Structure 1
């Protein structure tokens, strides 16, 4: 049995995406998390300038998600975000226990 741990996920979407496409990506991530975990907090930063160009883009739409889940869920999120064209970069880290 895998233990559930706290994670922090930030992903950057293409800045020119429609609201529906952004919502679709978030709903996909949320659905994967809720298969064996729970979303604790969502923080949308919106369009921000990137520190350096990524895929010839200078801006990106930032979304930050705090969640609790198993390592299988984390692997599934990582796999899905890697193949989504709308996502230009993502990073997931395990939070320290409080």
Structure 2
């Protein structure tokens, strides 16, 4: 499940980004040492070379697009269908994130 403060945190990050608070930070553009794991180096390189993103990223993008479509939709039947799809994709995203937290 997502944390109740996730949306507030996202809003704060977007506001900081819009006001250029992330410009000229020390270490900008460099990899984070604590995230670099030699056993993952090959997988990381292959993903980067093939422009592949983790499943959680794809699911998050899909949920975001579905929510935008829901806001723009006026037909009640289509809205219900979109809400069901959002719920399904959000569940998949939550499960994927939980698996990542547990198993890495």
Q: TM-score, normalised by structure 1?
A: 0.27
Higher relative contact order (CA 8 A, sep 6+): 1
Structure number with the higher strand fraction is 1
Structure with the largest fraction of helix: 2
Greater Cα radius of gyration, structure 1 or 2:
2
